[in-house]
Amino acid sequence: MATRTERAIFFINGTQGAGKSTVSRLLARRFDRSVRIDADDLLRLVVSGAAPLEPPLIPEAARQLRLRACVASRLADTFFEAEFTVIIAEILAGRLDHFRADIKNRPLCWSTSLHRST
């Protein structure tokens, strides 16, 4: 398989079960140096005090989602500056502007993974 050397920060966006994890893993394998950040993993770091993320969001849940975007953005910048291509799997609904503001490096690219009913 041919690999790529151009770097970017990619977002794989989609609803739960849409295939973000699979698509992001496959994309990451196409680059010589890549990192995959699954934003769900970041909130799993919270041992106690995690807010439920079901709508309607309570203020603490919204704050924790904002924190997740901030942490993912800092990780992305850190790895990108270390010369890695970065792929972030995340549900961006209503929060793309947070990532665009928080991530300092460019280019940013995004794609939406659509769930197929079977």
Flag whether pLDDT at 73 surpasses 70.
yes
Which domains are assigned to the chain?
9-47+55-112 (3.40.50.300)
The predicted structure's pLDDT at residue 116: 59
The token pair that represents 3 in the structure block:
């690999």
pLDDT in tens, 4-63: 668 999 999 988 888 899 999 999 999 999 999 999 899 889 999 999 988 899 999 999
- Identify the CA nearest to 38 among candidates 19, 60, 64: 19
The predicted structure's pLDDT at residue 1: 44
Flag whether pLDDT at 2 surpasses 80.
no
